[in-house]
Amino acid sequence: MTVEPQTIKQLGINTVRVLSADGVQKANSGHPGMPMGAAPMGHVLWAEMMNYNPQNPEWANRDRFILSAGHGSMLQYSFLYLTGYDLTLDDLKQFRQLHSKTAGHPEYGLLAGIDVTTGPLGQGFANGVGFSIAQKHLAARYNKPGFDLFDYTIYAICSDGDMMEGVTSEAASLAGHLQLGNLIYLYDDNHISIEGSTDLAFGEDVAKRFEAYNWHVQIVADGNDIAAIAAAVRNAQAETTRPSLIKVRTHIGFGSPNRVDTPSVHGTPLGDAELRLVKGYFGFDPNESFAVSDEVLAFYRAAGKKGETTEANWNTLFAAYKTEYPELAAEFLRVSSGKLPDGWKDTLPVFAPNAKGMATRKASGATLNAIAASLPELIGGSADLAPSTDTNLNAYESFSATNRAGRNFHFGIREHAMGSALNGMALTKGVIPYGATFLIFSEYMRPPIRLAAIMKIRPIFVYTHDSIGVGEDGTTHQPIEQLISLRSIPNVTLIRPADANETAQAWRVALEHQDGPVVLILTRQNLVIIDQEKYTPATELEKGAYILSDSDTPAEVILMGTGSEVQLLMQAQEQLKAESIAARVVSMPSWELFEKQDAAYKEHVFPKALKKRVAVEMASPLGWHKYVTDEGTIIAMNGYGESAPAEQLYEKFGFTVANVVAQAKALLA
């Protein structure tokens, strides 16, 4: 190992290495090895390549940075501090402590300058594909000759772990196919992961693999050669059709005489003795911690300062654009603020009562197509199921390598990458993305759902074919535990509308919702369209649960349910009435929205004194106990379904009017 002469750049890089190791040491937890090896890549990006303004971390045309190897967070924190973001040396000393901005892994929203929360390997890689898609789409929508408003690049640093994760393969395949030339990913190729050498489990030629994905691939043999890294990044910038991967051979824990190139430096503090050796190796005072020389700080602050001018120039460009294209400028300002246009709600469809009914997936499709023109920010697609999920915007084209203005996205059969890409899109102000598949395949995209929830961002996940009602496709396609499993994710709002009008209202609520993802759960089979004049209007869906139909005399029993089961409740209410039993029907499309209501409203819907309650949902019974109380009954699925016509399954598992009536009567007996 040789170190270049202590030029200011080299001193800066070594400062980041030592700061990172100091931060981990002080926290007595964290990952020192990755930042020590990858600091030169970080330097090239923050000091030489990226456009960003620490004074305005949200500047719309900034380059995006993703630390896909989120465990190397001290690398990002060090550069954010040095370049002048709202972060102090004390914040670095508070790494991983309660209430600090410097969490174990970078967290969006906690610290300005973090474009996305990372940590679960592979996610950042795939989020970048969504960032890239959104950039291309915004550029197609708003750029005009002489006005390249959106020409930013998406940079990421990825690790061996990122390269091994499956979602990376999905996302890389999609990115290559879509020719996302605005992606520049640096691969921290250090040959070490937690259990030892990557040879243990990882042998393919990553460069060839990415070439096969239609990526532009370069190799930098020496990860300390900043000129070579910079040259590769410049080549990547010049390559505008293929996404770029730069495979940089680095050494984990570089500078640690006893632990370089070993897994022990991946996720364990160096220890005082070894840290002193590291400082000595780089010519730092072993007795000093968190040392940042004035020259180094001045050097990186100057790099950060350049962004003020770059942004000011962009603001001038935007001001001229406003004069030239006032409507587009106003539209961009609106969509990027997250505000929906006045009057858009008037475009929501109202469905006439109809006993034959309509599947809620169909109602969703009708709603999407009715509102699409008034909401240019609404874009989305599916994982090869658009004809089944009914999510195509029929008046619009498809997004592709040659048509970036298209609003329909074909993610291919890549649910996981679709979810991660939706997160990257949702993090780009100016678009509201949705993505669809069958509810059962939400299982393939839980990691991004959870991350969207942590970040409180709002992609809309559309899941159809929501129960044993799918019938003949059988157990593998019949969701059982998915509803409760999605409801268990904090910050997720799940809505399972009962008919076409509730579906239109579910879209309204989803689009107005600001903090966290909304999951729409829709049927394949037709559902009766409830009369909006005769019963409580579907606009009440926003309260999560509402009395859809009350009894004429004080209710003796409450029948509650979601989605397709509500029509059973309505018929059961009629039959009970014929037997002089007063039943109240509560449509409960969203537990989460209901929990946000005040105590008086909750008491109004579910009076404490009225404990005879029946809940019906064709899914796991888990969680319904809270609403039925211990005096109630739950009609639900206690195991898997079966391959058979749906009507036979309803009969077999008790989802019939007769059974609802029988259970209600049993409670009252």
Ligand X SMILES: Cc1ncc(C[n+]2csc(CCOP(=O)(O)OP(=O)(O)O)c2C)c(N)n1
- Residues contributing to the site for ligand X (CB under 6 A): 31, 33-34, 69, 71, 119-121, 159-161, 165, 188, 190, 192-194, 252, 266
Nearest distance, CB of residue 197 and ligand X, angstroms: 10
| Per-residue burial over 102-128, b = 16 or more CB atoms within 10 Å of its CB, e = otherwise | bbbbbbbeebbbbbbbbbbbbbbbbbb
Distances (CA, A) of 548 to 159, 209, 556: 53, 56, 16
Which residue in the shown chain puts its C-beta closest to ligand X? 161
Decide whether 63 or 261 has the Cβ nearer to ligand X: 261
Nearest distance, CB of residue 74 and ligand X, angstroms: 11
Cα separation, 228 vs 226, in Å, equals 5
Sheet of 216-220, strands arranged across: 64-67, 154-159, 183-189, 244-249, 216-220
Decide whether 261 or 617 has the Cβ nearer to ligand X: 261
Backbone torsions φ then ψ of 66, nearest 5 degrees: -125, 120
Decide whether 204 or 533 has the Cβ nearer to ligand X: 204
Angle between helices 415-426 and 123-142 (to 10 degrees): 60
Cα separation, 463 vs 469, in Å, equals 14
Spatial contact of 615 and 442, defined as CB atoms under 8 Å apart: no
Spatial contact of 420 and 393, defined as CB atoms under 8 Å apart: no
Q: 189: which 2 tokens?
A: 């190729």
Spatial contact of 560 and 616, defined as CB atoms under 8 Å apart: yes
Decide whether 63 or 188 has the Cβ nearer to ligand X: 188
Sheet of 432-438, strands arranged across: 408-410, 378-382, 432-438, 460-464, 518-521, 493-495
Ordered DSSP codes for 479-541: -SSHHHHHHTSTT-EEE--SSHHHHHHHHHHHHH--SS-EEEE--SSEEEEPPTTTS--GGGG
Ordered DSSP codes for 69-112: SGGGHHHHHHHHHHHTSS--HHHHHTTT-TT-SS-SS--TTTST
Backbone torsions φ then ψ of 148, nearest 5 degrees: -85, 75
Decide whether 159 or 392 has the Cβ nearer to ligand X: 159
Establish whether 565 is a catalytic residue: no
Nearest distance, CB of residue 642 and ligand X, angstroms: 34
Decide whether 262 or 336 has the Cβ nearer to ligand X: 262
Decide whether 267 or 286 has the Cβ nearer to ligand X: 267
Nearest distance, CB of residue 602 and ligand X, angstroms: 39
Decide whether 187 or 627 has the Cβ nearer to ligand X: 187
**3-state SS, residue 197:** strand
Nearest distance, CB of residue 289 and ligand X, angstroms: 22
What burial class does residue 600 get, using C-beta atoms within 10 Å of its C-beta: 0-12 exposed, 13-18 middle, 19+ buried? exposed
Backbone torsions φ then ψ of 529, nearest 5 degrees: -90, 120
- From the candidates 170, 274, 415, 565, give the one annotated as an active-site residue: 415
Decide whether 252 or 292 has the Cβ nearer to ligand X: 252
- Residues noted as catalytic: 415
